[in-house]
Amino acid sequence: MPETILMDAEERMEHTISALHHEFSSVRSGRANPKMIERVTIDYYGAESPINQVASISVPEATQIYIKPYDKSLLQKIERAIFAANLGVTPTNDGIGVRISLPPLTEENRKEAVKVIHKMSEENKVAIRNVRRDAIAHFKKMEKDKLLTEDDCEYYQDEVQKLTDRFVETIDQAFRDKEKEIMSI
């Protein structure tokens, strides 16, 4: 039973790391990245659909994203959705697809992006600590119910702390890597 709690905690922490990497991929770092527009949705026959489900997205150059809808009647909707998403870019409709040219990041934009990823990493560290808190609460309840000895409870709490430390370090490393990527010109 305690091993199951440990495995569950580790799995939840891994999900947190995956979510962090997904969040980081949406932050602009100077190069064009299709994931920047992954969250943009358009009205497609009455249903909100992500752009990547109604169009192909490519990166023809390091500073451009090209969106070619499967249905040409969606061009205007895609263009409006990108404007509405407030991504800081201006889409250009060429009649076949929508081209997004990314201007170079200024020093101010880079610092703002670093603040954003720092906030994301801190929120994910809190999520990791919440998983730790939940696991420790389970162990203490098991000790109270006489399912674990006091020594075993201490051992499992130490194991959860080691897991937490490992995942917090992973978050810190991911932050440093993304910060380096953003600040490099």
Give the residue from 86, 101, 116 where a domain finishes: 101
Tell me what the mean pLDDT of segment 62-83 comes to. Answer: 88
The dihedral built from the CA positions of residue 21, 22, 23 and 25, taken in this order, carries a sign that is positive
Has this prediction a pTM greater than 0.85? no
pLDDT given at position 185: 64
Domain count, the chain: 2
Residues in CB range of 79: below 8 A, 6 or more apart: 91, 93, 98
pLDDT in tens, 26-70: 777 777 788 888 788 888 888 888 888 899 998 888 888 999 999
For residue 14, what pLDDT band results from cuts at 50, 70 and 90? very high
| Residue range of the domain that includes 90 | 34-101
Does residue 113 sit in the same domain as residue 175?
A: yes
Angle between helical axes of 107-144 and 150-183 (0-180°, round to 10):
170
How is 76-108 classified by DSSP, letter by letter?
HHHHHHHHHTT-S-EEEE-SS-EEEEPPPPPHH
- pLDDT category at 128 given cuts 50, 70, 90 is very high
Q: Residues 34, 58: contact at Cβ < 8 Å?
A: yes
Same domain, 113 and 95: no
Residue 97 maps to which CATH number? 3.30.1360.40
| CATH number of the domain bearing residue 120 | 1.10.132.20
Residue 118 tokens, joined: 């720092």
pLDDT at 35: 80
Residues 126 and 57 in one domain: no
Residues 156 and 118 in one domain: yes
Q: What does the mean pLDDT of the chain come to?
A: 89
pLDDT at residue 40, rounded to an integer: 86
Cα 26 off chain centre by: 7
Task: Give strand pairing partners of 50.
Answer: 41
